[in-house]
Amino acid sequence: MLKINTDLHTHTVASGHAYSTVDEMAKGAFTKGIKLIAITDHGPQMPGGPHIYHFGNISIVPDKLYGVRIIKGVEANILDKGRLDLEAEDLERLDFVSAGLHRLTGHNLKNKKAYTEATIKAMENPYLDMITHPVQKEYPLDLERVAKAAAENNVILELNASSYSPKKDHTRGIKSQSLRLLKLAKEYGFKLAVNSDAHFHDEIGEYSSLNFIFESEEFDKNLIINRSPEKVISYLKNREKRLAQLKKSV
Ligand SMILES: [Zn+2]
Ligand SMILES: [Zn+2]
């Protein structure tokens, strides 16, 4: 069985509805044998979420805690017309940028077409690395269009373990759609990430709710960008180069 020992989607107390500190998250990761985590607190439009200063100052957090590599990131909110709730000058300071559609964040998106178009627009943001929970009941997306845009913009699509967590009082995932992402990834050539979306330290690296994916005939570990810390580090190095290039050309 494939053991994924990284996690690119975790939340701390800064998110307002998560319950562990950065220190506790790092310790939790260490205890579970997870070698690398991205701290991706919600963007400022999330009720109770962090102030913009949170992201401006996150560089003071050590790159390693308890031997666990800490990637400083965000889960920004996708707003109307695919705008994110952090500007380029804020995103620039972060190592890893993910974004997703969330309730009560001030967007006025009302149907599948609007969710899809905002998501695609967000993917055109050069700082964006990953779309979180592209499969969720509340915000259905045209996965074919999103897959195509993910490949064109080199954006990762997420397989989100929390969407199928038995601990949640409602699950937002749709298994057939998550399985479809495996096929689409092969067809269009974008990458997937397996993440917990932990809101408490004991959830880090908890992927057993995704066993239906790992057991699928379509599953291929080579599609998973975070299958090892080395793969993530190499992705981040390329990202840095790409963004430096972009800056030069502006
Ligand atoms: Zn989310
Ligand atoms: Zn999240």
CATH number at residue 126: 3.20.20.140
Q: Report pLDDT for 1.
A: 65
Give the total number of structural domains in the chain. Answer: 1
Residue 1 lies in a domain: no
Q: What is the pLDDT of residues 10-68, one digit of tens each?
A: 999 999 999 999 999 999 999 999 999 999 999 999 999 999 999 999 999 999 999 99
How many Å apart are CA 228 and CA 221, to the nearest integer? Answer: 10
Q: Say what the pLDDT of residue 170 is.
A: 78
Is 50 a domain residue? yes
Q: Which helix (DSSP H) or strand (DSSP E) does residue 193 occupy?
A: strand 192-195
pLDDT of 169? 75
Distance 10 CA to ligand 2 centre (A): 6
Give the number of the ligand closest to the Cα of residue 38: 2
Residue 213 lies in a domain: yes
Residue 241 lies inside a defined structural domain of this protein: yes
Q: The whole model's pTM is what?
A: 0.98
Cα(249) to ligand 2 centroid in Å equals: 33
Q: Could you tell me the distance, in angstroms and rounded to a whole number, from the CA of residue 139 to the centre of ligand 1?
A: 11
> From ligand 1's centre to the CA of 98, what distance in Å?
9
Q: What's the rounded Cα separation, in Å, for the pair 11 and 196? A: 10
Low-confidence residues of the chain: pLDDT under 70: 1
Query: Which ligand minimizes its atom distance to the CA of 15?
Result: 2
- The DSSP 8-state label assigned to residue 43 in this structure reads P
In a domain, 174, yes or no: yes
Whose tokens are 């057993």? That residue is: 208
Separation between Cα atoms, residue 153 and residue 228, nearest integer Å: 23
Residue 72 lies in a domain: yes
The CA R_g of the chain, rounded to the nearest whole Å, is: 17
Ligand 1 centroid – CA 250 distance (Å): 32
Task: Give the number of other CB atoms < 10 A from CB of residue 57.
Answer: 11
d(CA 161, ligand 1 centre) in Å: 11
Ligand 1 centroid – CA 60 distance (Å): 24
CA dihedral 231, 237, 242, 248 (to 10 degrees): 180
Identify the domain containing residue 165 by its residue range.
6-249
